[in-house]
Chains A and B, each alone.
Chain A
């Protein structure tokens, strides 16, 4: 179906050129025929001028002689064989253009590839998201039933936060990691939580700023995320002073 529309579009694009070529066949023009036609008409005019008495017979004779001389000269001009060949060449070019385009496409295209409509893909994404939602909800449910003393609880919240952050649900990620932080502080986790808070609210909130500062204060000097956290602190301070 798409090939049909592509063919129609190609035809539409080439239409002006085709039209010009078709018209050109009706008015064949080369130098010789044009000159001869002109001089024939001039001869006719001179004859008419003589009959209505506009010029004297001597002038008529001179003019006729001059025109006849020009006719002889014009007859030497090249004939119109070139026109026909150039027309043929143009038709050839017009035919070859779509063929060449198709070949160019075939060098790098996949005509056998099936259609990729958006709706089924979106539906598949939705289904996948739904499955993930179910799994995450299951995890969340399991965590609420665990007793506070269970050592797996913190690990579970870390996992939940990771799963939510991977799906760009930063608010839920920040909440889950907040629970994990409450069960045991760790500088990198604090920085992650603060970053999730920042991304959830699109600015460095005062809580996130405090958390970033706490993370940097307790982290060793060489942690790789130090510069990023400092940049967030700078951003937060700047936003605080210039709300």
Chain B
């Protein structure tokens, strides 16, 4: 037995509606901002279905003098490796290179030259320095599709057993490296 609300009550409800809406939006923004503060939410994040799964099947020819790699090498890993898609025609990759050069002594880096001519990639690494211990070529961009990249530069942290543990679609910064990648890599080394 409910009586319909009297007009003043209904009016009060209607008056309260915008306030409630604004309040809900405010709470949403507050959650987003606090998530951005503690790293739980990143607006630049791109959904990567490969996360926490084994690496997709691929075989990458090497860029002489360096060896290429494939699924077999990645699955045989016992320590984490950072796989970095890059291209010589990509300006953010140029900007990222100095950061990668400082990272190469702290974590093995494997590079994949995405849709790049071998000469161009070689010239790029000759000019910028080469931080990669292994270097594969993905001239056609098929491997990039399998890994689900949205562009270059893009980085994947591959843990022991070839499981992709972390992914970023943005150029790496010193901040990301010290606060996220290195601690995670340390955790993966000590199972």
A154 within 8 A of B: no
Chain A residues near B124: list those with CB within 8 A. 230, 233-234
Binds A, one of B19-27, B45-53, B56-64, B86-94: B86-94
Contact among B89, B117, B126 for A234, CB-based, below 8 A:
B89
A32 within 8 A of B: no
The A contact surface, by secondary structure, is: helix
Q: Give 8 nearest A-B pairs by CB, closest first.
A: A238-B89, A237-B89, A216-B127, A234-B89, A230-B94, A234-B91, A237-B120, A231-B91
Q: Is there contact, CB below 8 Å, between B89 and A230?
A: no
Chain B residues near A230: list those with CB within 8 A. 94, 124, 127-128
Binding site for B on A (CB under 8 A): 213, 216-217, 226-227, 230-231, 233-235, 237-238, 241
Can you list, as one digit per residue, whether each of B73-98 has a CB less than 8 Å from chain A (1) or not (0)? 00000000000000011110111000
A-B contact pairs, 15 of them (CB 8 A): A217-B126, A226-B127, A227-B95, A230-B124, A230-B127, A231-B91, A233-B123, A233-B124, A233-B127, A234-B88, A234-B91, A234-B94, A234-B124, A237-B89, A238-B90
Contact among B88, B95, B115 for A233, CB-based, below 8 A:
B88
- Bound Cα distance A231, B94 (Å): 7
Chain B residues near A237: list those with CB within 8 A. 88-89, 117, 120
Q: Is there contact, CB below 8 Å, between B126 and A235?
A: no
- Which residue on chain A has the smallest CB distance to residue B116? A237
Closest CB of chain A to B124's CB: distance in Å? 8
Closest CB of chain A to B118's CB: distance in Å? 12
Chain B residues near A238: list those with CB within 8 A. 89-90
Chain A residues near B89: list those with CB within 8 A. 234-235, 237-238, 241
Q: Is there contact, CB below 8 Å, between B90 and A234?
A: yes
The B contact surface, by secondary structure, is: helix
- Bound Cα distance A233, B91 (Å): 9
Chain A residues near B126: list those with CB within 8 A. 217
Q: Is there contact, CB below 8 Å, between B91 and A213?
A: no
Closest CB of chain A to B76's CB: distance in Å? 34
- Bound Cα distance A233, B124 (Å): 9
- Which residue on chain B has the smallest CB distance to residue A221? B129
Closest CB of chain A to B56's CB: distance in Å? 25
Chain A residues near B95: list those with CB within 8 A. 227
Q: Is there contact, CB below 8 Å, between B120 and A227?
A: no
Chain A CB within 10 Å, residue with most, of B88, B91, B115: B91
- Bound Cα distance A238, B126 (Å): 18
Chain B residues near A217: list those with CB within 8 A. 123, 126-127
Chain A residues near B123: list those with CB within 8 A. 213, 217, 233
Other A-B pairs beyond A227-B94, A241-B89, 7, CB < 8 Å: A216-B127, A233-B88, A233-B127, A234-B89, A234-B91, A235-B91, A237-B117
Contact residues of B between 111 and 142, Cβ < 8 Å to A: 115, 117, 120, 123-124, 126-128
Chain B residues near A234: list those with CB within 8 A. 88-91, 93-94, 124
- Bound Cα distance A233, B120 (Å): 9
- Bound Cα distance A241, B89 (Å): 9
Chain A residues near B91: list those with CB within 8 A. 231, 234-235
Chain B residues near A216: list those with CB within 8 A. 127
- Bound Cα distance A213, B95 (Å): 18
